[in-house]
Amino acid sequence: MKLLDAVFVPVFPAIVLLHLLVAPYTKVEESFNLQATHDLLKYGAPSARSRDAASLRESYDHFSFPGAVPRTSVGARVLALFSAPVISCLGPEHAQLVVRAALGLWNASALCRYASGLGAAYGRDVGRWYTALQASQFHVMFYASRTLPNMFAFGLATFAFDAFLPSPSRITDGKQNTAKRGIALLVFAGIVFRAEIALLLATQLLYLLGQSKISLKTIIFHGAAAGSVSLMVTVFLDASFWQKKMPFWPEWEGFYFNAIQGKSTDWGTSPWAYYFTNSLPRLLLNPSIALLLPLALTLPSTRYPAQGLAIPALLFVAVYSLQPHKEARFIIYVVPPLTAAASLAASYIWARRSKSWLYGLGSLVIAASVGASFLLSTIMLSISSLNYPGGAALNQLHDYIGRQPPVPPGPDGPANTTINIHMDVLSCMTGVTRFQQRSDHSPSVHLTYDKTEDDSQLLEPEFWARFDYALMEEPDQAIGRWEVVRTVFAYAGIEFLRPGDGSSSGESPERGHAANHLTQAGGGEGASSADVADEAERAVGDVEKAARDEESAGEIRAWADATARLSLDEMGRSGTFGRVRDAVRVLTGGYWIGPRMEPRIRILRRVKE
């Protein structure tokens, strides 16, 4: 049995790291903490006397792109502190993975501790079933290493839930002597990272008060002490980081903006029941949990502990559902206690599997559901990894630049070259981070990166004239003469192919050839987006006409070259995915159901006049 427990110990860290390696890029929602960690590692924290606005914007991403509301730097500072020694050993090229791994292992350690606490409180089988059910869920494992403020709070909340577990060694005179640690952790998480944790703390403490497991004096004393320390930490550190006058409390700014002013509704609203009918089923994933949870709440031997785990969590979700704007990450903290409640029923059935065929069948169904959830999670991970074309595009651009012949040395030694790169909005939203940017690509090649979003600048030919490469969702918006050197594909839904159908995972040769022959409209004068788009359409028509014209052999050869290049490029990028799809279609006689891939970002190279 000890050997079995030893097998379970590395499950959470291993699966979290697997998700990180399969999907190493990030989305814009994760950018603040990731970019802040990069800047802290490279430049250190801005001091209270740093008042040069231009240098701050140059060095720190949050001054150039502050976002709708400020966020705390506390999490980024901790990640930078623990990541720096590892990065110095492995090298800066692995820095983003190291930083995300640090956060992922923090959350994995919280899950491990919670599983151990469940085993101590309710029996080893409960801890084992919790590990199996939790590890087979996709969302917690996928988001554990993602630098969202919610995931900094997630680890703190999970450690707090462990502190609230009623282990016999933790109870003195009928009171839980570790509850004060849980209070401190949730208070810190709520004040520093996510304000909704305050509601989770309230529902947890109300339940414990109702069960006489904690005293009001303990709540007030330890809550006030933890609140004072937490507030001092965030105010002191974040006032300096944001160059604001004290007192400056980022999470209050976000709470006031989103909840009190109601600005969060600008990102959409959902009905009250959305969390219960949509988010929780997706977060819990395993359909057997929908049966195990109510069973645990009704069985006489599991009802009381299951209520302690589930009622505060469900009450939190019910009250928080009054907030119109809803996202699954806002309630991800309740996944561990709800899964733990379900594991009580799973352990109950498993322990009686040899007593009757009904329990034996139930045990088999639960075990099969865990296996099915692991399979579904694997599929979801594979699909999710296809959602980051920006990160993939910048990585491919660096590879492309590295394959170009070096600049011949001049009479005074090796020539130094500066390559300027523009990255559009979609690229920056789907994976481009400062960790990926290599200012010194080689001793003689210096790279600069631009993320300009201003529409007026993007319509100026002079703006585009200074760039050598561009990452573009719409290549016809790049004014000037450009060549598409690579195309990055991304997930665009599910496709069903029948025998004879072609795959969606291909770039149109006509479209690629047209983009390769784009020249700014007006003979060097500024062109509007509409003019450039019209020129692109005309270019497509010209190519089609040339293909039908026997006298246009040169144009036809160029079209064929574009087709070959795009096809080879597709194989290079999506080789594994394409081979799997093609192998399956051979076995099924041409049928396939799977991810539909569409071209999302083109890597453009300026054509020298």
Q: Could you tell me if 536 and 437 lie in one domain?
A: yes
List residues bridging with 57 in a β-sheet: none
Q: What is the pLDDT of residues 35-66, one digit of tens each?
A: 999 999 998 888 766 556 666 767 788 888 88
First vs last C-alpha separation in the chain? 73
**Which residues lie below 8 Å from residue 455, measured CB to CB, with a gap of 6+?**
none
For 321-332, what is the mean pLDDT?
95
Give the chain's count of helices (H) and strands (E). 27, 8
pLDDT of residue 404: 82
pLDDT of residue 94: 94
Question: Which of 10-14, 389-393, 538-542, 562-566 shows the lowest per-residue confidence on average (mean pLDDT)?
Answer: 562-566
Q: Is the pLDDT of residue 527 over 90?
A: no
pLDDT of residue 415: 58
Q: Could you tell me if 181 and 42 lie in one domain?
A: yes
What's the one-letter identity of residue 550?
E
Taking the model in full, what pTM does it have? Answer: 0.86
Q: Does 410 fall in a domain? A: no
Q: Could you tell me if 481 and 597 lie in one domain?
A: yes
Q: Could you tell me if 367 and 420 lie in one domain?
A: no
Helix, coil or strand: residue 601: strand
Q: What is the pLDDT of residues 63-94, one digit of tens each?
A: 888 888 999 999 999 999 999 999 999 999 99
By residue range, what is the domain housing residue 209?
2-384
Contact between residue 414 and residue 378 where contact means Cβ atoms under 8 Å apart:
no
Q: Could you tell me if 103 and 118 lie in one domain?
A: yes
Q: Could you tell me if 122 and 270 lie in one domain?
A: yes
Q: Could you tell me if 400 and 277 lie in one domain?
A: no
Q: Could you tell me if 238 and 271 lie in one domain?
A: yes
Name the band, by pLDDT with cuts 50, 70 and 90, for residue 103: very high
Q: What is the pLDDT of residues 127-167, one digit of tens each?
A: 999 999 999 999 999 999 999 999 999 999 999 999 999 87
Q: Does 15 fall in a domain? A: yes
* pLDDT more than 90, % of the chain: 64
Name the band, by pLDDT with cuts 50, 70 and 90, for residue 572: very low
pLDDT of residue 417: 84
For 458-471, what is the mean pLDDT?
94
Q: Could you tell me if 453 and 542 lie in one domain?
A: yes
- Our count of domains for the chain comes to 2
Nearest-5° Cα angle at 82, 195 to 151: 30
Q: What is the CA radius of gyration of the chain?
A: 28
The helix (H) or strand (E) run that includes residue 185 is helix 179-188
Pick from 280, 340, 339, 315: nearest CA to 200? 315
Say which residue, 542 or 317, is predicted with more confidence. 317
**Four-residue CA torsion sign, 176, 213, 226, 313:** positive
pLDDT of residue 551: 47
Considering the chain, what is the average pLDDT of its residues? Answer: 86
Q: Could you tell me if 362 and 393 lie in one domain?
A: no
